Structure 1
Amino acid sequence: MARPNILFILTDQQRYDTISALGNEHIHTPNFDRLVRKGVSFTNAYSTCPVCMPARYTIRTGCEPPRTRIFSNNMSLSDQESHSLTTRCGPYLAETMKGRGYRTFGIGKFHSRPWDEDLGYETHLHSEEMYSTPEQRKRDAYAQWIAQEHPEYDFVEMLMGERSEMYYMPQMSPLPADLGVESWATDRAIEQISAQDSRPFFGVVSYIGPHPPLAPPLPYNRMYDPDSMPPPSVGTQESDHLDEYIPYVNYRVFAEDIGSTHAKILKSRYYGEISYIDHCLGRLLDSLEANEQTANTLICFTSDHGDQMGDHNAWQKESFFDASCKIPFIVSQPGTLPENTRNEQLVCLTDLFGLATTASGEPEVRDGINILNALHDKEQQRSYLIGYHGTPGSNDFKAMVRKDEWKYIFMANGGLEQLFNLKLDPNETDNLCASHASTCEQLKTILTSHLQKNGPAEAIDNGKLLAQKHTKKSLSRAYQFDRSRVGEPYSHSSKK
Structure 2
Amino acid sequence: MSDSRPNVLFICVDQWPADLLGCAGHPVIETPTLDRLAELGTRYTRCYAETPICIPSRRSIMTGASSRLHGDREFQPSLPMPKDLPTLPQCFKDNGYQTAMTGKLHVYPTRDRIGFEEAWLAEEGRGQIDGPDDYEIYLADSGCVGQQFLHGMSNNEYEWRPWHLPEHTHVTSWTTTTAARMIKRRDPTRPGFWYVSYTAPHPPLVPLASYLERYRDRDMPVPTGSEWSRDTENLPYVLRAVQEYWRDLAPVQHANMLRAFYALCTHIDHQIRVLIGTLREEGLLDNTIICFTGDHGDMLGDHGFYAKRLMYEGSARVPFMLIDKRDGGRVTPGATDDRLMGLQDIMPSLLELAGLPMPEGGDGRSAVNGERRHTFYGEASAGVRATRMIRDERYKLIWYPAGNHFQLFDLQEDPLEEVDRIDDPDHVDIVERLKGSLLEHLYGEDLEWIRDGQLVGTEAPAHQPHHNRGLSGQRGLHYPEPPRTDPSKPVGSW
TM norm. shorter chain > 0.5: yes
Superposed counterparts of 1:299-318, under 5 Å: 299-318=290-309
- Summarize deviations over 1:197-225 as a string: whole Å, max 9, x none: 21111111000000011110120122213
1:367 maps to which residue? 363
Q: Say which SS state the counterpart of residue 86 (structure 1) adopts.
A: coil
Superposed counterparts of 1:313-392, under 5 Å: 313-333=304-324, 334-336=326-328, 337-364=331-358, 366-374=362-370, 380-391=371-382
Distance 2:380 2:43 in 1: 26
**Displacement after TM superposition at 1:257 (Å):** 2.6
Alpha-carbon contact 1:158-1:482 (below 8 Å) kept: yes
Residue 222 (structure 2) aligned to one of 231, 250, 266: 231
Task: Please state if 1:21 is matched with 2:18.
Answer: no
Alpha-carbon contact 1:19-1:27 (below 8 Å) kept: yes
Task: Please state if 1:468 is matched with 2:461.
Answer: no
User: CA, structure 1 residues 174+466, in 2 after alignment: closer, same or farther (shift >3 Å)?
Assistant: farther
Distance 1:290 1:161 in 2: 39
Residue 40 (structure 2) aligned to one of 29, 38, 41: 38
When normalised by structure 2's length, the TM-score is 0.88
- Summarize deviations over 1:304-337 as a string: whole Å, max 9, x none: 0111001011111110110000111111024222
**Displacement after TM superposition at 1:105 (Å):** 0.5
Alpha-carbon contact 2:384-2:402 (below 8 Å) kept: yes
Alpha-carbon contact 1:161-1:172 (below 8 Å) kept: no
User: CA, structure 1 residues 457+204, in 2 after alignment: closer, same or farther (shift >3 Å)?
Assistant: farther
Alpha-carbon contact 1:161-1:214 (below 8 Å) kept: no
Task: Please state if 1:86 is matched with 2:86.
Answer: no
Alpha-carbon contact 1:9-1:301 (below 8 Å) kept: yes
Alpha-carbon contact 1:214-1:270 (below 8 Å) kept: yes
1:71 maps to which residue? 73
**Displacement after TM superposition at 1:426 (Å):** 0.8
2:411 maps to which residue? 422
Alpha-carbon contact 1:214-1:273 (below 8 Å) kept: yes
Superposed counterparts of 1:276-295, under 5 Å: 276-295=267-286
User: CA, structure 1 residues 68+461, in 2 after alignment: closer, same or farther (shift >3 Å)?
Assistant: farther
Return 5+ residue gaps in structure 2 as ranges. Answer: 484-494
**Displacement after TM superposition at 1:455 (Å):** 9.0
When normalised by structure 1's length, the TM-score is 0.88
User: CA, structure 1 residues 482+57, in 2 after alignment: closer, same or farther (shift >3 Å)?
Assistant: farther
Distance 1:474 1:113 in 2: 32
- Summarize deviations over 1:339-386 as a string: whole Å, max 9, x none: 111111111110111012212323317211111112xxxxx2211110
Task: Please state if 1:257 is matched with 2:254.
Answer: no
**Displacement after TM superposition at 1:3 (Å):** 2.5
Q: Say which SS state the counterpart of residue 431 (structure 1) adopts.
A: coil
User: CA, structure 1 residues 340+473, in 2 after alignment: closer, same or farther (shift >3 Å)?
Assistant: farther
1:244 maps to which residue? 237
1:9 maps to which residue? 11
User: CA, structure 1 residues 480+445, in 2 after alignment: closer, same or farther (shift >3 Å)?
Assistant: same
RMSD: 2.4
How many pairs does the alignment contain? 466
User: CA, structure 1 residues 239+406, in 2 after alignment: closer, same or farther (shift >3 Å)?
Assistant: farther
Residue 162 (structure 1) aligned to one of 153, 174, 183: 153
User: CA, structure 1 residues 160+193, in 2 after alignment: closer, same or farther (shift >3 Å)?
Assistant: farther
Name the amino acid aligned to 1:177: E
**Displacement after TM superposition at 1:239 (Å):** 5.9
1:493 maps to which residue? none
Residue 433 (structure 1) aligned to one of 422, 433, 447: 422
Alpha-carbon contact 2:248-2:304 (below 8 Å) kept: no
Return 5+ residue gaps in structure 1 as ranges. Answer: 375-379, 489-496
2:192 maps to which residue? 201
Task: Please state if 1:397 is matched with 2:386.
Answer: yes
